[in-house]
Structure 1
Amino acid sequence: MQGMLRALWAYRGFILGSVKREFQSKYRNSLLGAAWTVLNPLAMIVVYTVIFSQVMHTRLPGVNSTFAYSIHLCAGVLPWGMFVEIVSRAQTAFIDNANLLKKLSFPRLCLPVIVVVNALVNFAIVFGLFTVFVLITGNFPGLTYLAIIPLLLLLTLFAIGLGITLGVLNVFFRDVGQFFGIALNFWFWLTPIVYAINILPKPVQTGMQFNPMAPLIEAFQVVMVQGRWPEWPQLWLVALLGVLLCLAGFSLFRKHVGEMVDEL
């Protein structure tokens, strides 16, 4: 592990340069540029607010208006978007960079790190604007806002662990990526982001405890909407899965890194 960290630090210039190039190329020849980072999630939030606000704001604790429901949505949709970005891009990172892997010698783990840094930059932009919005409107949660930092670390740990594991498997079994794309759509609606968990039947509510993203997204919403500290013990599952997936992903990577280049 120390060897990996030293190698990544030695190639920090390569990582930061790749992040910069990707960010610039993403918005090259675009009139709105980085504004698309904000417009895409904003459009989703507006649609969900229009469709669900009148139904949901009376069923969510601490949410008693359309305005408050919009904050509730932002606090759920934005972290979910970061999770999807990390997992989706990590699972195709080795395939998308096949030519680079074949031509250059560098620590292969630089690729997942680049994915994470890019996702954090995008999240910082959109969540920063969301924070400015709640400050201006007088809905800033106060000191509990600091809880966002460990919640982000947990989300990143879980996402990159899952992403690397799927990324290695996807090199050898390309159906993995296709299947997970479908699974993400179901996973979104099985996570209480746009609705309240208390509207679900009791058996479904019981089963929701096995969805690691449910308590994590709820923690973001509790902080931003209710101004309360998260219930940390409820996050044990996502923390455990994050650690196990990272160990599994790194183990698969070390074991098959030589074969991966031949498969690409």
Structure 2
Amino acid sequence: MILTSSRSVWNYRGFILGNVKREFQSKYRNSLLGAAWNVLNPLAMIVVYTVIFAQIMRAKLPGVDSIFGYSIFLCAGVLVWGYFAEIVGRSQNVFIENANILKKINFPRLCLPVVVVANATLNFIIVFSLFTAFLLISGNFPGMAYTALLPVLIIMVMFAVGLGTTLGVLNVFFRDVGQLFGIVLQFWFWLTPIVYHPDILPKVVQSYLRFNPMSAIVAACQNILLHNQWPHWQSLLPVTVLAVLLCIIGLALFRKHAGEMIDEL
């Protein structure tokens, strides 16, 4: 089932690339700063959080006693979370937003989530490349552990795609799903140790963080970029299993209800 779907999507790679290019160009058409907005939006968030929380949180970060260190910790969490939130947020609405195309053109419907992931990845590469350049220039590049970001991010993307596709199918039939998840995503951000270190939380609360799939992913990225530490791969096993299960569930739901979705749109 997965192999067949992958082959169908690959055969329409030209369609996918064309949509990615068109969406990227239309997003910044008539914009003086263009792709710079990809950088300015997360940068503004990071500056605000740094100004508000730096003095409080830097003393709580193990081995970190400067605002600069807290900024790296914050950037690692915010940028990875932004990547995740963009994939999930857009995937849950992708079939509704492209209703006209789905009704008029015959193509593998799974191309649409792929376009979402490709656009989110392009945006993330732009921002994260600048962050990496900053780490190099400032002498804070983490070293070989940096290469571990790739498998960690792959796990995160799988989780986001599985969750987003599942929500996307459900959202076609139950429109409250999209509205509700927007609220859930806001709470989820603050329940994930992005702005703060988990050590500041009570022990009882810390024990519940293992049930948050994004906690392990964000912590792995922060440890890589701030402390040059390789991830504890065992801590990523639960989210990896969950990601695979969600991908299977999302694909199964899509294949089962693909015909009915057109009627609901």
TM-score by length of 2: 0.99
For the pair 1:129 / 2:106, whether they are aligned, the reply is: no
**Contact 1:112–1:164 at 8 Å: present in 2 too?**
yes
Corresponding residue number in structure 1 for 2:72: 71
Letter in 2 for 1:16: L
In structure 1, what is the equivalent of residue 51 of structure 2? 50
1:124-181 deviation per Cα after TM superposition (whole angstroms, max 9, x unaligned) = 0000000000000000001000001001100100000000000000000000000000
Letter of the 1:104 partner, please give it.
I
Structure 1 residues 1-264: aligned runs within 5 Å: 1-264=2-265
Q: Would the aligned equivalents of 1:90 and 1:163 in 2 still touch at CA under 8 Å?
A: yes
User: C-alpha separation between the residues in 2 aligned to 1:66 and 1:171?
Assistant: 45
1:19 partner amino acid: V
How far apart are the structure 1 equivalents of 2:172 and 2:96?
Answer: 6
AA matched with 2:123: N
Q: Is the 8 A contact 1:62 1:225 kept in 2?
A: no
Count of aligned positions? 264
Cα distance in 2 for partners of 1:105, 1:63 equals 55
TM-score, with structure 1 as normaliser: 0.99
Secondary structure of the 1:57 match is: helix
What is the identity, as a one-letter code, of the residue corresponding to 2:231? P
Amino acid of the structure 2 residue aligned with 1:58: A
Following superposition, the deviation at residue 64 of structure 1 comes to 1.4
In structure 2, what is the Cα distance between the partners aligned to 1:4 and 1:184?
Answer: 29
Structure 2 gaps, min length 5:
none
Q: Distance in 1 between matches of 2:240 and 2:7?
A: 25
State the Cα distance separating 1:2 from its structure 2 match.
Answer: 2.2
Tell me the SS of whatever aligns to 1:9. helix
Q: Does structure 2 retain, via aligned residues, the 8 Å contact 1:49–1:70?
A: yes
Unaligned runs of 5+ in 1: none
How far 1:121 sits from its partner (Å)?
A: 0.4
Equivalent residues of 1:45, 1:77 under 8 A apart: yes
What's the CA shift for 1:70? 0.5
Q: Which moved more, 1:42-51 or 1:55-64?
A: 55-64
What CA distance in whole angstroms lies between the structure 1 residues aligned with 2:109 and 2:264?
A: 15
AA in 1 matched with 2:109: R
1:25 deviation in Å?
Answer: 0.3
Is the 1:86–1:159 Cα contact (8 Å) retained in structure 2?
A: yes
Query: What SS does structure 1 have at the residue aligned with 2:60?
Result: coil
Structure 1 residue identity aligned to 2:248: L
Q: Contact conserved, 1:23 with 1:118, CA < 8 A, in 2?
A: yes
Mapped to 1, the partners of 2:33 and 2:207 lie a distance apart of 44
- The answer on whether the counterparts of 1:87 and 1:163 sit within 8 Å (CA) in structure 2 is yes
CA deviation string 1:195-224 (max 9, x = no partner): 011111111111111001001100000000
Give the 4+ runs in structure 1 shifted more than 2 A.
none
SS of aligned partner of 1:194: coil
User: What amino acid is aligned across from residue 6 of structure 1 in structure 2?
Assistant: R
User: d(CA) in 1 for partners of 2:194 and 2:4?
Assistant: 40
3-state DSSP class of the match of 1:61? coil
Amino acid at match of 1:220: C
Greater Cα shift, 198-207 or 158-167: 198-207
